[in-house]
Chain A
Amino acid sequence: MPAMHWTDAIVEGLRTHEVWTVPYVPDAAGWQVVSKLEADPAFTTVPSTREEEAVGIASGVYAAGGRAAVFMQSSGFGNTINALAQLCIVNRISVPLFIGMRGGLGEFNAAQIPPAQAVVPILDTLGIPHYAPEREEDVPNVVDGALRLCYAGRAPVAVLLYSSLVGAKRAT
């Protein structure tokens, strides 16, 4: 049986773990998932003006007894540090982060490279576990495991979506 498409594996992982609310700042990788969530009446997506705001909204969902995951691009991840460090980690709030990683294989835009290179060191500095499925067949287990860890640990967990999995964005 061929592996489930990586986007469907993420959608089904969110469904299994009842992560019904998805604040996001659009990016080419994440949108391949978020567009499916927008078309699915079980999910509520929240277009956000800034990545930090999206983490704040997701924290509110958790505070009220729900579950929300945030989708963003590596270039905007730095905007979330205030929310992750001072809100999610301090209050112990579970927020899964799905980060579309630019700045690697196939990158055409030099401005995408430094912020992408900073993502993993920042996650490590904050003590946020991160996982990057490399092959399509790995995605269901990585997503399921990351979501389990996130809700058990009451802390953020990141899933990094690299171009080797999701395809490189092309210059337009």
Chain B
Amino acid sequence: MQGITRLIAAFSAAALIAGPAAAQAPAEQKADEVPSPQQAERERAAAQPGNNAPVWKEVRSGQPNYTSIPGRETDVLIQPGARFPGQSHFSTAGEAWRQFRNGVVTFYGGWLVVLVLVAILAFYFAKGPVKLHEPPTGRLMLRFTDFERIVHWSTAISFCILAVSGLVMLFGKHLLLPLIGATLFAWLTMLGKNLHNFVAPFFIVSVVVMVIIWLRDNLPRAVDLQWLNPAKVWGFFAHSEHIPSGRFNGGEKIWFWAGVLGLSIVMAWSGLVLLFPNFDQTRAAMQDAWVWHASAAMLYICASLGHIYMGTIGVEGAYGNMRNGYTDETWAKEHHELWYLEHKGDRRVGGTGGAVPAGAPHMKENA
């Protein structure tokens, strides 16, 4: 995003400079008589020997110069200018990044998370969970295999660790530090940072496996378009009206493609740039990566709150499906009718003989 704004700014600056120059070119002499900046500075140095302005202009330019000190960017005196989304003017890159982090991300990001949380809770208290219409039959179907559940919970638990430690690093200074004091907070944040660094690769691997195993079932189907109809979605959430769907419904597919796949790619790419500072990437690259990382993280956390709500208290019986792997025929029929019809009586996918596997007691009582 910032790259684009920089590009646009560069183009507009070029247009500003080129505009008048192009207009003047025919009237004046040839273009090659316009002195180059270096030449102009040399002339000024001769005419005004005490004028140090060119030196200080150079200092502010952010260009690499000569230094005998080894290390990356040690030859830059002051970081070049940058402008992040929402900023009206260029400032030194570090300062621009600080304004973006401490202004845009903490303010809008913090509000977004709080508002989503409040909206979900308000909805829950106002409308309650999505309920089953008929009593469970007691006949179970296999909804998720052991491997699928291992992958899901690996991703879910590592995501929660990453999200909590990331939020602590962003907001802990304001929320937690005044409560628990600097020593304990610094220890916790240090722990959080190390967990963040070491859990992240595990999360990436889990997401890759998850995308591979669920890709086929998440391919969009015509029936899923109903999930783009606000009236239908409202009917589902508020009045428990069923929208027929295959193994995954339209909402789950949006979460899969936009969240699990899309946001994970942004998070993983930007996170890896930040995680391995030993590849000689510049500060500008890491600032850009951080901006993507934090912005995507805010969206990811908000979306995951929705997913966690739906998977636990928002939809009756949903948590048990992922916990135990089995679902009741009634639940399957009322939530994933097409999948139910496809696999009813299919012994390979799920037994329908009425036997309750030991691991799936959650559907027995009228849960």
Q: Do A and B come from one complex?
A: no
